[in-house]
Amino acid sequence: MAGPLGIIVKFSTLQDYGVDKVFFLENSNADVSQQNVVFIARGESAKHAQSIADHIKRMQRESQTGHEFSIFWVPRRTLVSEKILEEAGVLGDASIAEFPLYFLPLENDLLSLELDDSFEDLYLRKDPTSTFLLARALMLIQQKHGLFPRMTGQGDNAKRLTDLLVRMRQEVIAGEDTNESNKFGLSPSSTIESLIVIDREIDYATPLLTQLTYEGLIDEAVGIQHNQADVDSTIVGSAPQPAQGSSKVVGAPSVQAKKRKIMLDSSDKLYAQLRDTNFAIVGPLLNKVARRLQADYDSRHGTKSTAELREFVNKLPGYQAEQQSLKIHTGLAEEIMKHTRTEQFSRLLEVQQNLVAGADPSLQHDTIEELIARDAPLSEVLRLLCLESCISGGIKPRDLENFKRMILQAYGYQHILTLDALEKLQLLLSRTSPMASMIPMAGSGTATGLKTNYTYLRKHLRLIVDEVNEHDPNDIAYVYSGYAPLSIRLVQCVLQKQYLISMTRGGNVNHTATVATGGASQGWRGFEDAVKHVRGQSFDEAQKGEDKAVKARALLTGAGEKKTVFIVFLGGITFTEIAALRFIAKQEEARRQIIICTTSIISGNRMMDVAIEKGTLGKGGVLDVTP
């Protein structure tokens, strides 16, 4: 919980409120000299509950002084964690409470539950806990701002989520008093336009692609966790020394001395400018900022009066902060450039672009075999194979067996488990597999398929845009240099109907003026055929309330305000998809505000990490392979 809590409160603030030291639960090194000990952990995690029980027993054993233990389960208490504490014999030694922390504000327009295991839980373990917690979080928004007047979405888990919201609403109504004020609380909102829910499994291809925005490439190359990146201090310079008496996290890895934590959010004005741009233009933008800063510094030589000099001195802290930010991002951009200019990166990108454009997959196999032979990172090889499987409805059986054999021989036989996990996730399938063959086809009635038909959607939703202006983009395809993420195209089917119709039916991408029409109140209207070719159920439901309550809410909130659309990604969203949604939000800002909600931030590497077996065969002893 250290990362998520760091988003909403700094450790120095906790110290002001009497927190002496902060320890990581995983390190099992909590100080026994402290009398008051507070544990904050996820209530769903049995591992955390066991760790807390071990901590309490160790501290009671090693210390002579009495302790007061408090446990806060985030976001709720669970029977499993209480049972583990009871079996360990420490349930009565601690006071237990809930800390209902659901959405964390990563940005003004981005709310995340920060459930790092949500992808694995939903799609590999088939554990619906993430769906339930997301429903609880959205229900809190409804109780504060009124019901979502319309709920539109795609995917089986998305449908389960909206069903849960309907059920939770009924539970609230059944449990409340019949007075007017409570009824008013659950009438349709007059400030929210709609809720759009996208299930991650309807579009696995998008996160498998290499992200090409600045923020996306930082995530690919370095990794971003809870708005922070651990970057080698040789790249971005060493961190400024903390002030005397600032709070210390005990038990942080010693390797941190060589790494520096960089905050990556909109508090950094330069990062806010760069984050959603295609990486191709980051260099020129940084150059422009550097020249402007130099000109601002040089302007001090031309100051004639005392007032002008005072004005320059007042601006100096801002210049210095900007200079520091410029140094960090120049270092990061140079490091990413080293990565993107390698031959291996070019080959990876070429295969990916060919696959999404509909080229013959078998023509890409030589390049993938070469990457395996050159010992490319396993996650990158698997991403290419999974991308081919998702887009082409599986890989030919003979080719798949060949690749499996090559992977086991090159990377180790423990990856039999990796390949099995990818099959369970339905990411890597043979064309003869019943799962791969169940692609929804035109004219198949209302039956939903188990796989998304990219071949049909590539044409009918214009997923490939040949001419992309990365400097002044006119379509969301700029985030992948020519590929428009299917998940975001589906959002456009609801929010920007006229633009998408003009574009897919022979129109020109440059007609940005046509964006103005289309509304969430019409659901999937106009794109019903396209949605039938996407995996899972599609739905479009209106939520109604009592007429008196609706009129009362409209009277109180007034008319003419911009309404808010909540776009929810269940199972994770990538930084490039966030950039594409912000691009839409900018086009729509005169009419509506867009808030993005998700269970977690995801990338192709994180998807592969879920499946990749970490153990190795034969380490630490002789492996018996006697037949």
Whether the link from the prior residue into 75 is cis, omega within 30° of 0, is: yes
Residues 395 and 430: their CA atoms lie apart, in Å, by 5
Percent of the chain topping pLDDT 90: 56
Cβ–Cβ < 8 Å for 91, 85: yes
Cβ–Cβ < 8 Å for 345, 217: no
Residues 499 and 591: their CA atoms lie apart, in Å, by 15
Q: Do 208-238+258-340 and 343-437 come out as alike in CATH topology?
A: no
If you average pLDDT over each of 69-83, 297-311, 548-562, which comes out highest? 69-83
Closest by CA to 260, choosing from 242, 244, 286, is 242
* The pLDDT of residue 626: 40
User: What superfamily in CATH does domain 343-437 come from?
Assistant: Sec1/Munc18 (SM) protein, domain 3b (1.25.40.850)
Section 153-177 average pLDDT: 90
CATH for 2-101 is 3.40.50.2060
Q: What is the pLDDT of residues 490-533, one digit of tens each?
A: 999 999 999 999 988 765 554 444 444 455 567 899 999 999 99
445 has pLDDT over 50: no
Question: Which fold is adopted by the domain 208-238+258-340?
Answer: Syntaxin Binding Protein 1; Chain A, domain 2 (3.90.830)
Residues 306 and 312: their CA atoms lie apart, in Å, by 10
384 has pLDDT over 50: yes
With H, G, I as helix, E, B as strand and everything else as coil, classify residue 98.
strand
Section 603-618 average pLDDT: 91
Question: Is the alpha carbon torsion for 147, 148, 149, 154 positive or negative?
Answer: negative
The DSSP result for 216-261, as a single string, is HHHHHHT--BTTEEEEEHHHH-PPPPPPTT---EET--GGGGTEEE
The DSSP result for 532-543, as a single string, is HTSSS-EEEEE-
Cα dist from 217 to 3, 44, 284, 485, 605, whole Å: 21, 32, 17, 16, 12
Residues 14 and 10: their CA atoms lie apart, in Å, by 7
With H, G, I as helix, E, B as strand and everything else as coil, classify residue 96.
strand
Mean pLDDT (the chain, rounded): 85
Question: Given pLDDT bands bounded at 50, 70 and 90, which one contains residue 14?
Answer: confident
- Report residue 242: phi and psi, to 5°: -70, 155
Residues 259 and 136: their CA atoms lie apart, in Å, by 37
- Look up the pTM and report it: 0.88
Cβ–Cβ < 8 Å for 92, 62: no
Residues 362 and 335: their CA atoms lie apart, in Å, by 33
- Report residue 379: phi and psi, to 5°: -60, -35
Q: What is the pLDDT of residues 253-287, one digit of tens each?
A: 444 458 888 889 998 899 999 999 999 999 899 89
Integer Rg of the chain from CA: 27
Section 117-144 average pLDDT: 94
Residue spans of the domains in the chain: they are: 2-101, 208-238+258-340, 343-437
Cβ–Cβ < 8 Å for 7, 106: yes
Residue with the bigger pLDDT between 450 and 467: it is: 467
462 has pLDDT over 80: yes
Amino acid at 500: L
143 has pLDDT over 70: yes
